[in-house]
Amino acid sequence: MSNGTAVSSSIVDDISQGIGSVNISNNDSLLAAVVSDMNSSRAEDMNSEKKCTSCDQKLEHTKTDQIGVDNGTNDGMVVLKEKVNTGDVEVTCANCGKEGASNTCNKCKQVNYCNAACKKRHRHKHKKGCEEHLRHVAKLQEEKNKRAAELHDIELFQQPPPVDDCPICFLQLPYLGTGSAYMSCCGKLICTGCIHAVANHSKTDIPLCPFCRTSAPESDGEINKRMQKRVEVNDAKAIYTLGIYYSQGKHGLPQDWAKTFELYHRAAELGYSHAYCNIGNAHLGGEGVKRDMEKAVHYWERAAMKGDATARHNLGVFEANVGNIERALKHYMIAEKGGHIGALKKIQDLYSKGLATKDDYTKALRAYQEYWVR
């Protein structure tokens, strides 16, 4: 069968590569049968790997693999015998090689042993690798903490977002709470200039809301009723104000610090930054909570990042007290741009002591003047 069994080199290559379809001439029937048998045998082998012979159900990941894992030390590899079908992992002892080692190195947690005896025998081999691993982990953690602190400071020392405008004169409201007043009748925050203008032209003895012209409440019951109505629609300022009432026991309400902090947190989550400032102040003075300076700073930072000038001033005072003058000056500069006179005085004090430059003080004065001109 010189011609009938002759096979071109390309067909031989195809068979050797396991390709299922091969171009064969009509006369090469014997070779076609061989290829067909090879393909069917290969398909049966593939099916046998995926199906159970008794129930004909597909089986996946039933084989057991030996996996070598570098433990980062000089004492070689730790061998893991993984049973993929059950998810179990059997670890061999780094000293004797037996499986089922469950006694882990107390320091690095990277090497396993059968028992304390194996751990003790292997200690002199593992000590160097263990210490190197711990130093590496500590270095990574230090770099991670440093980067986190850098990102936190970038966010912390950004200029605060602009506040809303007065709904009557459309001028930007002051950052400080003394420059505006909340109207519980309509839920509007009105600048004191518009309030003063309406009061001067009013023909009634009872003050009117500059926005909706509703008369001011005349009793504690009416005040609480209006405030509660605004609280029900998730008005952040109203929620915060009701928290003030509970903290001081005003307008017939009992003093309740638990209720106060509940309302403060709710208002802060809805975007009212000064609520976080008051939570920080409470932790500073131990009002209703245990005195905790770390928590006070945490809540002041949250308030400052949302634009609260008082919280920013408090952070400056804290940083100055612990000797971080550069950070304190940054806080004061941002706070005085928001109209905080106390922050401007602190910068003046730093300048008089030689801890701030003349340029710093000049910039602070100009920014403070621009705030009030605006």
118-141 per-position pLDDT tens digit: 988 898 889 899 999 999 999 999
Q: Is residue 105, in this structure, part of any structural domain at all?
A: yes
Whether 22 shows a pLDDT value over 80: the answer reads: no
Q: Nearest-CA neighbor of 91 among 58, 116, 68?
A: 68
Separation between Cα atoms, residue 209 and residue 40, nearest integer Å: 90
Q: Nearest-CA neighbor of 186 among 245, 220, 235, 222?
A: 235
Q: In sequence order, what DSSP letters do the residues of 120-187 get, joined into one string?
A: HHHHHHHHHHHHHHHHHHHHHHHHHHHHHHHHHHHHHTSPPPPPPBPTTT-PBPPSSGGGEEEETTTT
Same domain, 210 and 167: yes
Same domain, 151 and 257: no
Task: For residue range 79-108, list pLDDT tens digits in order.
Answer: 444 333 334 556 889 888 888 888 899 889
CATH number of 288's domain: 1.25.40.10
Q: Would you state the pLDDT for residue 233? A: 95
Provide the domain count of the chain: 4
Single-letter residue type at 53: T
Same domain, 361 and 239: yes
List the single range of 54-58, 129-133, 186-190, 287-291 with lowest mean pLDDT.
Answer: 54-58
Same domain, 145 and 227: no
pTM score, whole prediction: 0.67
Same domain, 244 and 353: yes
Q: Which of 105, 136, 156 is the last residue of a domain?
A: 156
**Segments in 184-233 forming alpha helices (H):** 192-201, 220-231
Residue 69 lies in domain: 64-156
Separation between Cα atoms, residue 336 and residue 371, nearest integer Å: 9
> What mean pLDDT do residues 21-29 have?
43
9 versus 186: the higher-pLDDT residue is 186
Q: Would you state the pLDDT for residue 62? A: 35
Q: Would you state the pLDDT for residue 43? A: 47
Q: Is residue 57, in this structure, part of any structural domain at all?
A: no
Same domain, 332 and 226: yes
Same domain, 148 and 236: no
**Mean model confidence pLDDT for the chain:** 80
Q: Would you state the pLDDT for residue 58? A: 43
Separation between Cα atoms, residue 224 and residue 245, nearest integer Å: 9
